[in-house]
Structure 1
């Protein structure tokens, strides 16, 4: 079974405000995206698992748009604590809990994306902690997020990856991220997305097949039985290459167009999925 994940980040913002939403008015954006890609999930539902992660404001619309298809809808993170009978009844102002998104219709949560890790590092860095202490604390927080999501009945896409300054120590860094971040988790409900942070972005050299292969082998040796997808961006340019790596079980799509009017376009999403699954 392959896995096709889609992270729509803050793609709901229109170009007038610096965003990339050229698909629909913001109020209908989530529903429009889910409705437009659910046929792809139906087409390949027997050979691949599909989920799309959206900003919270669009989850209700996206769940409605995905109705009748195998497309799962997920949130882009959860708080480390939640409501519970006889416990906290909901005093989580500004915080997104697993129970709240599950009741909106979500079945997935994205945890540990490189952008979330960057934000956590910045917050923890404000107290002047040593880098090693910050990394350990980030992993502990993410571990609690994973368990909170699973307690709410959500499946988890757990993201991990090394930064440029960590490449020489990649094996130790990634081993620590996966062992600490998934401590206490039910691994049957986890998929892992490997993000080589050092190779993502304009002007950077993308990770090649041998590098991705060795990382996927490491992850699978640390957590046997957990599927690993490429989180550095599944796109038309690398679909065939990634499909040729037996250790990689799918990919994470974000932008579909990287030049001109950059953004996410459903017809290009379908083309990427076709290229990958038919390679």
Structure 2
């Protein structure tokens, strides 16, 4: 069976003082039968990975394909690993849009994550225009083919479906839409690979989403910033 993951993506949010929320999340998920990951800004990773009793695992949000070099402002997978990260997000739509990252870029970043021993949380998702044009499944299949390197296994890769039109908008794909996509993805990847849904996931809709076949968890944005919002999502996942 695929592993269950409640993963949070803090994006460009958080100072050291905010790491108290990670501690509170950790307290809230200690007894849960699911994996919990918080992907933090690079500046917080080292400080967040300190207590050996901590069950929350830490991730980064991006890695450069190269291990080192003249890439001002970038960070390598090896640097993330050394700082304490075990996971890294690759291919998030905000990276694809804001930084022009292509499927080929995402593929290279995912390979870099593996090189450093990190688990890649590889994101794919369609725009509203693509959804309304009936292109969702073909767009996602193309992104998956272009972004997912050969050698992907359930141990080194998690796939996150994040419809671009539902990220931070308050809009959520219907259960039928999520099920259609996740069922199609399951047919294209290893049957043991975890498939997460992301897009305005909250405590109020988490249980319904996690009840769907082939939804193995969530990649959560804004609701992962506060333990009071995120822990109920993780609890809904563990109960599913």
By the TM > 0.5 criterion, same fold? yes
- Map residues 170-249 of structure 1 onto 2, 5 A cutoff: 170-188=136-154, 189-202=156-169, 205-225=171-191, 226-249=193-216
- 1:27 is aligned, of 5, 16, 29, to 16
* Conserved 8 A contact 1:33-1:62: no
Partner Cα distance (1:95, 1:10) in 2: 15
- TM norm structure 2: 0.90
* Conserved 8 A contact 1:41-1:69: no
- 1:148 is aligned, of 112, 131, 155, to 112
Q: Which residues of structure 2 form unaligned runs of 5+? A: none
* Conserved 8 A contact 1:4-1:49: yes
Shift of 1:224: 2.5
Q: Which residues of structure 1 form unaligned runs of 5+? A: 13-25, 84-89, 122-136, 257-262
Larger CA Rg, structure 1 vs 2:
1
Q: Which residue of 1 aligns with 2:66?
A: 81
Partner Cα distance (2:231, 2:56) in 1: 13
Shift of 1:268: 2.5
- Does 1 or 2 have the higher relative contact order (CA < 8 Å, sep 6+)? 2
Shift of 1:28: 2.8
Are residues 1:7 and 2:14 paired? no
Are residues 1:164 and 2:128 paired? yes
Aligned to 1:51, the other structure's residue is in SS state: strand
Shift of 1:185: 4.1
- TM norm structure 1: 0.78
Shift of 1:275: 3.2
Partner Cα distance (1:201, 1:267) in 2: 18
Partner Cα distance (2:40, 2:225) in 1: 13
Q: Which residue of 2 aligns with 1:272?
A: 233
- Map residues 113-152 of structure 1 onto 2, 5 A cutoff: 113-121=92-100, 138-152=102-116
- Map residues 97-108 of structure 1 onto 2, 5 A cutoff: 97-108=76-87
Partner Cα distance (2:199, 2:80) in 1: 26
Shift of 1:164: 1.1
- 1:92 is aligned, of 71, 74, 79, to 71
**Pair 1:58–1:174, CA change in 2 (3 A):** same
Shift of 1:187: 2.3
